Every structure is written in C-alpha cells, then in structure tokens.
Structure 1
C-alpha cells in the first residue's frame, strides 16, 4: 500500500479529528510518519540505503515517540518502540503484521543470522559470538512454529534499531560497502512493516490515546499568546 493510499484511507478520520482539534496529535503523528515514509519511497530502489533506513525509522518514530511531561524530554527510544510494537500486535485483528512476517520470513531469518546486527557480537567480536547469531536463527524457526509473533517482531526490529544506532551515532561510514548487505536486508523488511503499522493505525488507531507527542506543532503567534497568558 502506497503512502498516497494510506493517506486516502486516513482522510475521513483526519477530518473528524481535525474538527475536535486542528492539530490533533493522532493526525499529526500519522502525517509526520507518512511524510518520512514518502521520502523513503522517493529514493530509487537500491540507492542511498542509509537515507532510506533513516527515513523509515523516523516514520516509525513519529508514531511511537512519547513525551515525558515531568522531565520535559522524550521518553527513551527502546521502551517507547517496544511498547508500540506490543500495542500494534494487540490492535492487529486482521493479522496484518503476522502476514507480513510470514511473507518476509526469508528476510527475517537473514537479519537474525547476520552477526554484525547483533549487539552481543560487538561486545566481544569473535567466532563464538558470531555463532550466537546462528543460535538465534535456530530459535527463530521455533518461534515461527509456535506463532510467537511478539518475540519475532521484537528481535528483528531490535537488530534494525542496532543498525540505525550505528549510523546515527557516527559508528558507520556513509554508503559503506561493509554494511551494504545488512542495510539492504533491513530496509527491505522495514518498509512493509511500517506500512503494516500505518494500515493498522488507520483501521484501529483512531480512537486510541497515543500518549504525549514530542514537539507538537507551534506557531510564533501561539507561542507569544501562551507567554502572555
């Protein structure tokens, strides 16, 4: 499903929520996510994979990001996206995520098998730690047989997140040949996953309270008005 189709599906909800509040956070989250997913769509397939992965992650971040009103800062990434994935699975009555994980099983397995996407490998890079990824691969086959979708989704997104962190924190060279295989796998899987999340959001998320939104839209006029109130 394209971003255009997702937006078309969301439009009736958008109009209803906008009548309640012109910058309704559920609308803003969806709009922000679609804008970044569209950016990844516009990148030619197979080119600029670093930017594609960043755009994909930002799209999901727009949906899961939470604001800590006491500390006045975003809630930590790890807890936020893990909670979000659990919530997506609970809302997914049509098993969209499950179908995606089944359709993309070979990609899931390849990502779980790659030792360079494992945080355990980088604690002490060695053949023994590389074998740990192969153990995870064997475990994943059991997870599929048992239908443990929450664990499969968590583990594979955890590895995509690990690669995202490497890039964001300057621990990888732009367009490096060393991580081309890993980033190719991650972008190919992440794309249908994010579209699944947005589809579930459009189908089941409109009545949900998605929590405090990070950095809601503000105009200079609103800022001045609030400061003088």
Structure 2
C-alpha cells in the first residue's frame, strides 16, 4: 500500500492510536483537530465521482491541506498569510519524510508535474502580459524542471508545482473563473489528479512522523456556546 492508494478510512485507522493518546492529553488536541479537519475535506473530494465537479474537488483538496498548514497570528488575531504558511509546511513535510514518500509520489506522477509546469495559464508570469511570447517564457520552468529531477531538487519541484495549483485555486476563490468553465478544464483536471496523491502523502507523513510535532497556533479551534459562557464567567 502506498500513499497514493490509501483511502481516508485507512489514514484515519492509522491515526487512531495517536488520536486516542493525544485526546487523553486534551479532548480537542490541535494535532488531532488538524488531522480530522483535513480528512473530512479529503473525504469530500474522494466521494466526488472521478472527473466530475472538478472545481469543488480542487477546493476540497486545498482546504484539506490548509487544515494542516494554517497558522494563527496571536498578535494580530488573524490567520497568517497563505503563501508563507504553505511554503513553510512543504519544507517541513520534506524534512519529516524519512521514507521519501513525497519523492516517490513526485516520481510516480512526473508526467502530471511536467504537464502542470508546461501550462502557461497556470503561470503568474504569463498573466502579467498575456501573449505568445509570455507563454513561451512561462514554459521555461518545464525545461528547468527536467534538471531539478536529475539533481533531485525535490523542494524546488514541490514548491513550483504547488505554486501553480495555488494560482488556480486563487483564480477560482476570487471569482476569476467561471464555475465548470471549459477554458480551464484541462488545467484543473491536471491539478486535481496530482494534488490528491500529494495530500495523501502529507497525511501519511503526519501519521508516521507528525504526532510529536508542534504545528503552531491553530486557526479557529472548536468552540461551543457552553464553553464560551464558561470561559467568560471564569
């Protein structure tokens, strides 16, 4: 069994011993909550028929990863910016990944990685001045990626491909794309196909190596009205 083939149910089963131990320390332990939230959204994407409702699938996948990487700024009382948070998270995943789960996934999905890096519409540089010349320039990353694979520069490969998935995510979230648009079907198909095994890889690493880690301030921990009233009167 590999990270690519593991279901949410199997990931939860693997996490269960850690969940019980952490719950004994705190009923809403942040590491447990993050894992639970991530699995709930990955399951949502898992339940969507393959090839249908790709916009919702991509959003569900990103939210799943966001549940793992999100950080709370205690001074400003708001979430830390997305870009820094997910880039730091990817670096941390690679450092924890002693079994090279992410590397294996990037190798197994190399054709998808290359296709995403080749797509000019997923490049922020293309959109600065959309034209054929910019499209050719944006594809420069594809040629660089071949060298990154040869050199084993996995951090750069992972960063660049997730950056393009994030770019598409931002287009959708900020209303810069039509729902179920035919114009971005190819791009969103590629991104969802790659993002799925990547997130499963992250959850597997979390279950294997992340239980003792301090994952930082969690955004919006679970609360109930009863707890809120109790805290206000304490």
TM over 0.5: yes
**2:193 counterpart (188, 191, 194):** 188
Structure 1: segments with no counterpart, 5+ residues: none
Q: d(CA) in 2 for partners of 1:176 and 1:129? A: 23
Deviations 1:41-84 (A, max 9, x none): 00000000000000000000000000000000000000000000
**1:119 counterpart (102, 109, 124):** 124
Once the two structures are TM-superposed, the CA of residue 135 in structure 1 deviates from its matched residue by 1.0
Deviations 1:113-132 (A, max 9, x none): 00000000001101111012
Once the two structures are TM-superposed, the CA of residue 133 in structure 1 deviates from its matched residue by 2.4
Structure 2: segments with no counterpart, 5+ residues: 1-5
- Residue 178 of structure 1 aligns to a residue whose secondary structure is coil
Pairing of 1:153-164 with structure 2 (within 5 A): 153-164=158-169
Q: d(CA) in 2 for partners of 1:108 and 1:228? A: 54
Q: d(CA) in 1 for partners of 2:142 and 2:39? A: 32
Q: d(CA) in 2 for partners of 1:61 and 1:123? A: 27
Runs (4+) of structure 1 exceeding 3 A deviation are none
Deviations 1:151-196 (A, max 9, x none): 0000000000000000000000000000000000000000000000
Count, aligned residues: 229
- Residue 177 of structure 1 aligns to a residue whose secondary structure is coil
Deviations 1:80-109 (A, max 9, x none): 000000000000000000000000000000
- Residue 184 of structure 2 aligns to a residue whose secondary structure is helix
- Residue 152 of structure 1 aligns to a residue whose secondary structure is helix
Measured on the aligned residues, the alpha-carbon RMSD in Å equals 0.4
- Larger % of helix: which? 1
Q: d(CA) in 2 for partners of 1:136 and 1:216? A: 39
Q: d(CA) in 2 for partners of 1:110 and 1:130? A: 14
Length-normalised TM-score, structure 1:
1.00
Q: d(CA) in 1 for partners of 2:137 and 2:105? A: 26
Q: d(CA) in 1 for partners of 2:141 and 2:163? A: 13
Which residue in the other structure is 1:25 paired with? 30
Does residue 93 of structure 2 align to residue 88 of structure 1?
Answer: yes
